[in-house]
Structure 1
Amino acid sequence: MRWTIPNILTIARVIAAPMIGLIYVLFDRPAADWIALALFIGASLTDFVDGYIARRFNQGSAFGKMLDPIADKAMVIITCAVVLGLFGLTVWIVLPLMIILLREVLVSGLREFLGEVKLDVTQLAKWKTTAQMVALSVLLGASALDAGGSDLAGMVMGGGLALLWLAAVLTAVTGWDYFAKALPVLTERDKG
């Protein structure tokens, strides 16, 4: 592995992922909410920065290509668990989070099973990741506002839920797209 700026940022994102949950163990609310929100937003931004630097300055690496999607998934999965803890098991939270988590696990498994067969990341999949990160940021912000007693909490929560459902739809569509692209390979392997 080369110690490039993109790789360092990706490693930082992997480290930040569990910290988002640990913050709630280490600090009281609403401080924990604000710290987790700042950490999540900062780590989410590194996803765009590391990719830009890797492309712009030709610093892409096999390590980065392997770890970047893992870092994204760790961030999203752990933050989904935090959001469930903050808002409870309501259908408006559980259903979109189940769609997101199921797709992430299935596509990861599909990529592993396909091995050398490359499923390129589509532009829609990049928008999916952005939608997930924005939705989760808004929900963390709504939690922080609610814990602080702000009257804006309900309005921000409504926006966060709408964004979460949009992210879930994009997640389902991109998951279906990957499986449709992999189907010929899977069918061929069944014949062999």
Structure 2
Amino acid sequence: MTFPTVLTIARLLAAPLLALGFLVLARPLADWLALVLFVAASLTDWTDGYLARAWGQVTRLGTMLDPIADKAMVTAALLTLVYVSGLRGAILLPAVIILFREVFVSGLREFLGDVSGTLKVTKLAKWKTAAQMVAIAVLLAQGIAEHAVGAAVVGMDSQTVGDVLAGRAEDLQGLGWKWSVSEGLAWTGLGLIWLAAALTLVTGVDYFRKAWPHLKETE
């Protein structure tokens, strides 16, 4: 039980906690908890592997748990966003594509067994992972900004909100900049999650193409 392995286990346990926070905590506290957990998990994803190699502490347990922790955190975050985000309709399809690819490639690796090394992680797959991680973090942050906008418009009717945003009425609650931040995060997060989904499709097809010669063999 080395320190890098402990980090991996902590990342694995953080996945259900991210979703659980929305069941037991009020928003935006739950959003802040989810964002902190996800960003911390993303950082330890790189840290535990680096430390394990640098300290000569690569273990079979850590090697087995590392990809499981990654997939668990991404799955928990995407399911949570689809459940709580105001953008759920726009992120449902890319979330399904990403999760389908994870299940599909994991199944391929398991089936291929000893020859699963043919499905090595490519540079494009690393870009997919980076886009996916940043997208999820941005979308979690957008939930915080969205809640701030909701708090700022309490007691206002639609006409007043429109007047404030158009500059025709005094903005006492900072609605203008809160709205801008929320919209900016929304469009950035949507762009990145759809980019990650597109890269997911490309890398998934690439993995299947590499696995196909082994799938054609007869037993």
Query: Within the alignment, does 1:114 sit opposite 2:112 as a pair?
Result: yes
Structure 1 outlier segments of 4+, above 3 Å: none
Q: Which amino acid aligns with 1:86?
A: V
Distance 2:26 2:103 in 1: 32
- 3-state DSSP class of the match of 2:114? coil
C-alpha distance 122-65 of structure 1, shift in aligned 2 (>3 A) = farther
- Pair 1:153-2:182 in alignment: yes
What is the root-mean-square deviation of aligned Cα atoms in Å?
A: 1.3
Deviation at 1:111, TM superposition (A): 1.0
Alignment of structure 1 residues 115-130 onto 2, 5 Å: 115-117=113-115, 118=117, 119-130=119-130
Letter aligned with residue 137 of structure 1? A
1:168 and 2:166 are equivalent in the alignment: no
Match of 1:30 in 2: 28
The 5-angstrom pairing of residues 27-106 of structure 1 reads 27-87=25-85, 89-90=88-89, 92-106=90-104
Question: Could you tell me which of 3, 12, 15 is aligned with 2:13?
Answer: 15
Following superposition, the deviation at residue 46 of structure 1 comes to: 0.5
For 1:84 and 1:143, the matched residues in 2 are separated by 11
Structure 1 unpaired stretches of 5+: none
Rate the CA distance shift 1:175–1:50 in 2: closer, same or farther, 3 A: same
The structure with the largest alpha-carbon Rg is: 2
Q: Measure, in 2, the Cα distance between the counterparts of 1:95 and 1:22.
A: 23
TM-score (norm 1): 0.92
Query: Residue 124 of structure 1: CA displacement?
Result: 2.4
Give the TM-score taking structure 2 as reference length: 0.81
- Determine helix, strand or coil for the equivalent of 1:148: helix
In structure 2, stretches of 5+ residues that fail to align are: 150-177
Q: May I ask how many residue pairs the two structures share in their alignment?
A: 187
C-alpha deviations, 1:129-180, integer Å up to 9, x for none? 2221110000000001111223211111110000101111121122112111
Q: Structure 2: how far apart are the matches of 1:62 and 1:170?
A: 30
- Summarize deviations over 1:92-113 as a string: whole Å, max 9, x none: 2111111101101101111111
Identity of aligned residues (%): 53
Distance 1:103 1:95 in 2: 12
